[in-house]
Amino acid sequence: MQKICKTCKKDFEIEQDDLNFYEKMKAPAPNYCPDCRVARRLCFRNERTLYKRTCSKSGKPIVSLYPPNTPFPVYDQHIWWGDDWDGVDYGQDYDPSRPFFEQWLELRNKVPRISLLNIDGINSDYVNNSEDNKNCYLIFGAQKNEDSMYGRLVYRSKFAIDNDFVQDSEFLYECIDCRKCYNCMFSDGCETSMDLIFCFNLRNCQNCIFSINLRNKSYHILNQPVSKEEYEKKKKEILSSNKKLAEAKKEYEKFKKEAIVKFSHQVKCKNATGDYMYNCHDTTHGFDAENTKNCKYVGDTEGTIDCWDMNNTYYKPELNLDVMGTLQTYNIKHSVYMMYTSNSEYSESLHNCDSCFGCLGLKKKKYCILNKQYTKEEYEKLKEEIIENMKKEGVYGDFIPPFVSAFGYNETLAQEYFPINEKEAKEKGFNWQSETSGTYGKETIKEENMPETIEEVTEDILNQVLVCKDCKKNFRITKGEFDFYKRMIIPLPHKDFECRNHDRMKNRNPRKLWHRSCLCKIESHIHGSKKCENEFETAYSPDRDEKVYCEQCYQQEIY
C-alpha cells in the first residue's frame, strides 16, 4: 500500500507485514511516514532541558522539566507519587460534539504532572529518566552510576564525564558506545579496554592512541606498535593544551575516515536491519535495540516483543503500537509514558492501570475515559463511540497530535534526531519553546581568555562563569568536574554540555538506512578476485569515506 505522509508530503509504503500487524492490533494504517511518526513520538520526550520552579502543591523550589509558566500544575516527584491526590478527581465527561483532542488538551491542563523522573537518586537532583544514581549531575536515561556527569544512556559506571551509550566503565571522558572500559578518552565503540585515547572499535586493548579495529594489542599509535615511552610522550603532547587537543581531534577524524567498518553495529542478531543492535531477531529498522523479537520501527528499546513504532521502551513491552516511553506494558496504542499498564489507548503517564482511554496521570485505575471512572460495560460502549468519532475526524490510528505536547520541539529528542528551525516546526504543527533555560552574556571569562592548560587552572574557576564557543550560552565548572579534569590531566572544555553532546552524537550513525553492497576487493577473501557481491541495509550513507564491509568480509579482515 502506498500513502502520502500528511506532514512531509512524501510517498511511503506500508508493507503487508505492517498491515497484518495493524489488523492484529485493530488499528488502521498510519497517515504519516516512519520518520514523521518517530518525530511525533519524540516531541513528547524532554530529557535534558531542566528548569527551576516551585512545586504547585507544596510551594517548595524544585527542578523540573517544565518552566514556571505552564498552564498545568507541576508536583515534586515525591508528592506526585504520593496518595494525597487522585487523577480521577480531574475527570470530565466526553462531549461527542467536540474534537476529541480538544477535550484531551483541557484535561492535560488540569492534571498535575511529575516534575521529573529521578528514582532513588542520592545527591543527584539534576538528572532525569534515571534510577539509583549517586553524586551525579546532568545525566539522562541513566542507571546505577556514581560520580558521573553530562551524558545520556550511561549505565553502571563511575567517574564518567561527557559520555553517551556507555556501560560498566570507570574514568571515561568523551566516549561513545563503550563497554567495560577504564581510563579512556575520546573513543568510540570500544570494549574491555583501558588507557585509550582517540580509538575506534578496539577489543581487549590497552595503551593505544589513534588506533582502529585492533584486537588484543597494547602500546599502539596509528595502529603501529610503539614503546611505552613513545606512548607516554604522545599522550602528554595531546593533553598538553586545548589547542593540541583540537588538533588531535582533527587528526583522529581524518584517520577514522579510512577505517574498515561493518555494515551495521550488530551482535548476536538474526534477520535484523538497523544499527546498534544486540540479540535482536526478526527486527526491521531497529536502532539502539536490545533483546527484541518481531519488531519494526523501534529505537532505544530493550526486551520489546511483537511491537511496531516504539521509542524508549523497556522491561519487555509486548504487543504495543506507536508508543513512546514504557515499562512492561501490554496492548498499548498511541500513548506516552505508560508504566506497568495494559489495554489502553491515547493516554499519558499511567501507572499500574488497565483499560483506560484518553487519560492522564492515573495510578491503579481501570475503565476510565478522560480520567472519569466507568463500569466495564459503560467503558466499552463509550470507547467505541469515541473511536468512531475519531475516525470521522481522521485522527484515529495516528499518534497523539504534537500540538498537545507539553514541550517545545526544541526541548525534546525530536530535535536531536530530526533537527528543524522554529518556522519549520510550527508549519508542521509542533510547539516551540522560546524561553529555554540558560543565560547569555553573563560570562566572567571571555572565550579567548580561557585557560589553555589544566595546570594553570585553580579552584577559582568554580566561581567563574564561562561561555560556550559555539552557542554562546553560559556554563560553569563544578567541583567534581574540576577534580576529574585535574586527575585525568584534561584541558577545560570550551563548549557547554549541549554542544558537547551534539558533537558526540555527530560521531554516531544516523537512524536512517541505505541499501548498499560490500566494498571489499581483498582477493584472499572468499569472493576471490571479484568484488564481494553481498548487499545489505546500512546506516553508512554512500557519500561517506569508510570502507563498508559485509559481516563475512569484515570478520575475515578484522579478527
Residues 145, 255: one domain?
Answer: yes
Q: Is residue 359 assigned to a domain?
A: yes
pLDDT of residue 528: 85
Same domain, 348 and 317: no
Identify the domain boundary among 341, 373, 400.
Answer: 400
The reply to whether 546 falls in a domain is yes
Q: Tell me: do 483 and 374 sit in the same domain.
A: no
Q: Identify the pLDDT of residue 239.
A: 95
Q: What is the DSSP letter of 65?
A: S
In a domain, 132, yes or no: no
- Nearest Cα neighbor of 370 from 350, 395, 351, 352 is 350
**Average pLDDT along the chain, 559 residues, taken 10 residues at a time:** 94 96 96 97 96 96 94 96 96 98 97 95 94 96 96 96 97 97 97 97 97 97 96 96 94 92 96 97 97 97 97 95 96 97 98 98 98 98 98 96 96 95 96 86 93 94 95 94 95 94 93 96 88 95 95 89
Both 74 and 109 in one domain: the answer is: yes
Query: Do 179 and 246 have their domain in common?
Result: yes
Residues 258 and 175 in one domain: yes
Same domain, 186 and 286: no
The pairing of strands 354-357 and 348-351 is: unpaired
pLDDT, position 46: 96
Element (H, E) at 151: strand 149-155
Range of the domain at 88: 52-115+331-400
Q: Quick check: is 231 in a domain?
A: yes
Residue 437, pLDDT score: 74
CA nearest 309: which of 48, 15, 43, 33? Answer: 33
Pairing of strands 547-549, 118-119: unpaired
Structural domains in the chain (count):
6
22 falls within a domain: yes
Dist CA 69 CA 354 (whole Å): 32
pTM assigned to the model = 0.93
Q: What does the pLDDT read at residue 523?
A: 86
Residues 337 and 373 in one domain: yes
Q: Which CA distances in Å does 411 have to 51, 66, 117, 434, 498?
A: 11, 10, 16, 10, 11
Same domain flag for 539 and 492: no
Q: What is the predicted pLDDT for the residue at 249? A: 95
| Residue 83 is assigned to a structural domain of this protein | yes
Residue 437 belongs to some domain of the structure: no
